[in-house]
Chains A and B, each alone.
Chain A
Amino acid sequence: DTGVSQDPRHKITKRGQNVTFRCDPISEHNRLYWYRQTLGQGPEFLTYFQNEAQLEKSRLLSDRFSAERPKGSFSTLEIQRTEQGDSAMYLCASSVTGLSTDTQYFGPGTRLTVL
């Protein structure tokens, strides 16, 4: 499978715990995006990387959230001291920059439930 992959697919945690998600983009895609999707809503942008550089973070991304892409390939999203409001689907997408606007391909998501 050469698409975007995410791990784990589901995560249940207790409030206050830390969680980390991983995203593996399509090979050679230099841009990687994180979005959050709650039930009945469209995905909301959180942050994105070009290669290993994190270029922008949404104001939705509180200080408890941190993302990395250390070698410009896979990325991790960590949430510290989880809250019930963090429960959502966390989606990763990747794209390759080119002469025209790049097209984003999404992974299957990690569904987080905070009890």
Chain B
Amino acid sequence: GENVEQHPSTLSVQEGDSAVIKCTYSDSASNYFPWYKQELGKRPQLIIDIRSNVGEKKDQRIAVTLNKTAKHFSLHITETQPEDSAVYFCAVPLTGGGNKLTFGTGTQLKVEL
């Protein structure tokens, strides 16, 4: 089955700095790469996703880059703010159709004042 590795597991940055989280996957047929943000006790919320026909997508301070050759994709958050503090999960579809997702192990991002 599909395997997703996510790094780092924890990330601490100063407010205003950038944060980068990287995920690698094993199935070269994967074509959809979402990122979810989960605050403590809350639901996972989709913050950005990218499909395999593009290499980069931006939405204000958030961007995702995809390298299909190397089978990795990264989340970039610029000008970090305290409200960005949360756990971030990458995901890729499991094999077999239906777009059921397998998630990375998460990155705890802490933005310090």
Contacts and interface: CB of A to CB of B under 8 A. Distances in A.
A50 interface: yes
A31 B25 CA distance: 24
B103 A42 contact: yes
Given A41-B105, A101-B32, A56 B98 contact: yes
A56 B96 contact: yes
- Interface size classification for chain A: 20 to 34
Given A45-B101, A48-B98, A109-B43, A101 B106 contact: no
A107 interface: yes
A104 interface: yes
Contact of B44 (A31, A91, A102): A91
Contacts of A105: 46
Interface string B81-102: 0000000010101101011111
Contacts of B104: 42
**Chain A CB within 10 A, most for which of B43, B96, B105:** B43
B103 A44 contact: yes
Given A40-B106, A42-B106, A108-B43, A101 B98 contact: no
Nearest to B96: A56
A45 B94 contact: yes
B91 A42 contact: yes
A52 B45 CA distance: 25
A100 interface: yes
Nearest 10 CB-CB pairs, A to B? A42-B103, A101-B32, A106-B43, A45-B100, A106-B44, A42-B89, A108-B43, A43-B103, A42-B106, A102-B99
